[in-house]
Amino acid sequence: MAQKLVELGHTVAIIDIDPTACRYAREQVGAMAFEGSAVSIEVLLEAGIQKADSLAAVLRSDALNLAMVTLAKHYGVPHILSRMRHSDFTEPLRLAGANHVISTVELAVSTMVNAIEYPQVESMMHFEQGQIEVLKLAIPNSCYVVGRSVAEIAQDSRFPTGSLIIGYQPHPHEDLMIPISNIHCRY
C-alpha cells in the first residue's frame, strides 16, 4: 500500500516495530519510517499524526487497530481507514472514528467468488452495498458487439437490461474511451 501511495505522489509515514521493515520502507519504497509501536503517542507524534490527512490502521490485531483509530480521531486525522479481521469490530471501529472499515476476509472471499462465478471478468468493483457493479472484461472478436456503435449495442435485445457501457478500450495499450452521448441522468 505504501509503495502505491508513494507512486501516486503521496508523502507516506510508516510506523513499524521491525527495524528491517523500516529500513526497507525508507530505502526501497521511499517512505518515511519510524521504529516503534503504532499505538505509542510519542511515536505517532514523531511520525506527524497531527499533520496527517489520512491514516490506515493495518496492525496485526483488530484491538490494536481500534486503539490506533481512536488515537487518530483524537489527533484530528480527517480520513481514517482500518483493516478488520473479525466482523465483531465493525461497529467499534466506526464508533471510534474509522471512515472506512475493510474486512480482509470479506474482500478475499468476494474476490474469489467473483473469479469463480465470472471467470471472464478481469476486475469488478461494487458500490452502494452491491446494488451497482462495475466490470472490466475483454470482448472476444467473435462477440456480437464487435464493430457496432455503443448506441447499437445498448439497443440490442441481447444487451443486459439495466446495464450501461461507461467506457471501452479498443486496445490494452490505448486510453479508455468514454461514450459521452450514452450518458443519461434520471432524478
pLDDT tens per residue, range 111-143: 788 778 777 777 766 666 556 777 777 777 888
Specify whether 103 is located in the same domain as 142.
no
- Domain end, chosen from 52, 87, 107, is at 107
Total number of domains constituting the chain? 2
Within-domain flag for 112: no
Q: What are phi and psi of 32, to 5 degrees?
A: -75, 145
CATH code of the domain containing 43: 3.40.50.720
| Rounded alpha-carbon distances, angstroms, from residue 34 to 3, 16, 47, 69 | 16, 6, 6, 18
pLDDT digits (tens, 9 = 90+) for 94-109: 999 999 999 988 878 8
| Rounded alpha-carbon distances, angstroms, from residue 131 to 103, 106, 107, 122, 123 | 19, 17, 17, 19, 17
Within-domain flag for 122: no
Domain around 150? 138-182
- Domain end, chosen from 84, 107, 130, is at 107
**What count of other Cβ atoms lies within 10 Å of the Cβ of residue 155?**
10
- Domain end, chosen from 107, 128, 163, is at 107
Within-domain flag for 93: yes
Q: Is the pLDDT of residue 186 over 70?
A: no
pLDDT at residue 101 in the model: 94
